[in-house]
Structure 1
Amino acid sequence: MDPTLIQRLKALSSAEDFLDFFGVPYEPRIVQVNRLHILKRFYQYLHKTPGLSNLDEIEMFRRYRELLVQAYADFVASTPAKEKVFKVFQDADGRQSVPVSALLDSLAQRRPMAA
């Protein structure tokens, strides 16, 4: 019995593996810089798309390929900072602020108590 599409996908590990498997042409320099972002966006698209599990293998392959093409295209035309796939980019455009008082409180807690 041939493995299912999902079983075959579980054997893939890199963005290049996924792009090659689905026959998506890509620029290596774009993938090298954005591989995790592309895979995360692909995952997000898969989870936002209803009814994928109800498709037959051929239609599922076609639909997954479309979503991967879309995820890759997001980073051809944009940047990780603009796409905000990961939380670090979602929080204040990748910048987080910590009040000085919080730093001072943290330092005070770490200092050994004077005997």
Structure 2
Amino acid sequence: MEEKGGSNEDSEAKIAELQSQLDEAKGNYTNLNKQQKLEAALRKAGAKDVDYVGYKLGGIDKVELDDEGNIANWDNTLSSIKEQMPKYFNDTQPIVEGASLKGDNNKNVTDPFVALSRKYEKDN
């Protein structure tokens, strides 16, 4: 006799299908998370072409995250890729997000608009 929801075999097949979909979604999330972390780290390091440098690093398949969710062994990896591909990185660090025009003590500003603004403030 069949239950209301269908046979036991149908239920098991549905559970297996849902488990497969869940595993696929987890994999997609992990890959997206790795991609975002890699792109953010490369931007912070001053990479000029984030996609190409990421490709040269082996893409997200080569990226491993540590227990805290950071890219494992990032400092060594970054040093190595900067030595191999120096023309793909800016000579100076990019401006820190959230830096303000007034009261910012950062003397090594890479943003030309901030530099002009400071020059204008000194002239007045």
The interval holding the TM-score normalised by the smaller chain is: under 0.3
The higher radius of gyration belongs to 2
TM-score by length of 1: 0.27
Task: Indicate the structure with greater helix content.
Answer: 1
Give the TM-score, by structure 2 length. 0.26
